[in-house]
Structure 1
């Protein structure tokens, strides 16, 4: 499981770097074409919006993996030292439930609805289902990270005998 998580984390990091570079290039081109060339690009605004969706969803998955999600820490740290490990497990189970129920199941429903030929973006002419596919994909990634965190936490609890 650890090897899979490492491969996903590495790929996610590279994907986020690439997406951030693309959004910077796209917005820079938009500003240049609008103010210097006096002919704004029709696709860069929509591209930036779609890239921001992907960056937000995949960035959330990466932040969860790196334990940078502030909300989980705030809730778990309210418990005393004896209960905190189990509260941590519970928090990761809640994240797993949300990722599966909302992001994966709901995300695939959203993708199926928006793969309709009439659901096409205005400027890029891309099926919206491709754009929204970031929801179930990031849900799968978060689920994998969550399963690893649950297994690691339970293993730590068992090894310390709490």
Structure 2
């Protein structure tokens, strides 16, 4: 499972690099077209908004995998032994539960809700369900990473980023 997780992490990192490159190019074109050409592009504004959603959600999954997600560790830094292990198990189970219930199940509901009546974006004219697909997809990634971290914690291996 370790090799698969490393592959997913690497693909996710490249995806985030591509998305960040696209948003920088889009915003640069938006600024250029607005202030130099005096004809702002509505497509780049909407595209940048959608890319920001994807970067935020997939970035959260990547940050969780690498252990660089924002967290309060004042109490856990003082723990040792069994208490620390139980704390990590609780954290990974909590993350996994949130990812499954809210992001995967709720995200699938959101996607189906916006696909059926075909809610279309204004400028790009794409179904909003495709934009919201980032919610369940990142939820699946976070769930996989939580399961991997949980297995590593239970087998006394060091989860990524800890």
C-alpha displacement of 1:72:
5.6
Equivalent positions of 1:50-61 (< 5 A) are 50-61=50-61
Q: Would the alpha carbon gap of residues 14 and 110 (structure 1) be closer, same or farther in structure 2, given more than 3 Å must change?
A: same
- Secondary structure in structure 1 of the residue aligned to 2:119: coil
Q: Please give the alpha-carbon distance, in whole angstroms, between the structure 2 residues aligned to 1:14 and 1:95.
A: 24
Q: Would the alpha carbon gap of residues 111 and 65 (structure 1) be closer, same or farther in structure 2, given more than 3 Å must change?
A: same
Cα deviations by residue, 1:100-138 (Å, 9 ceiling, x for unpaired): 000000000000001134411111101000000000000
Q: Please give the alpha-carbon distance, in whole angstroms, between the structure 2 residues aligned to 1:96 and 1:136.
A: 13
Aligned positions, number: 157
Equivalent positions of 1:2-151 (< 5 A) are 2-71=2-71, 73-74=73-74, 76-77=76-77, 79-151=79-151
Q: Please give the alpha-carbon distance, in whole angstroms, between the structure 2 residues aligned to 1:74 and 1:53.
A: 30
Q: Would the alpha carbon gap of residues 103 and 21 (structure 1) be closer, same or farther in structure 2, given more than 3 Å must change?
A: same
What RMSD, in angstroms, separates the aligned Cα atoms of the two structures?
A: 1.5
Q: Please give the alpha-carbon distance, in whole angstroms, between the structure 1 residues aligned to 2:32 and 2:45.
A: 13
Which residue pairs with 1:156 in the alignment? 156
C-alpha displacement of 1:74:
4.4
For structure 2, which runs of at least 5 residues remain unmatched after alignment?
158-162
The normalised TM-score by structure 1 is: 0.92
For structure 1, which runs of at least 5 residues remain unmatched after alignment?
158-162
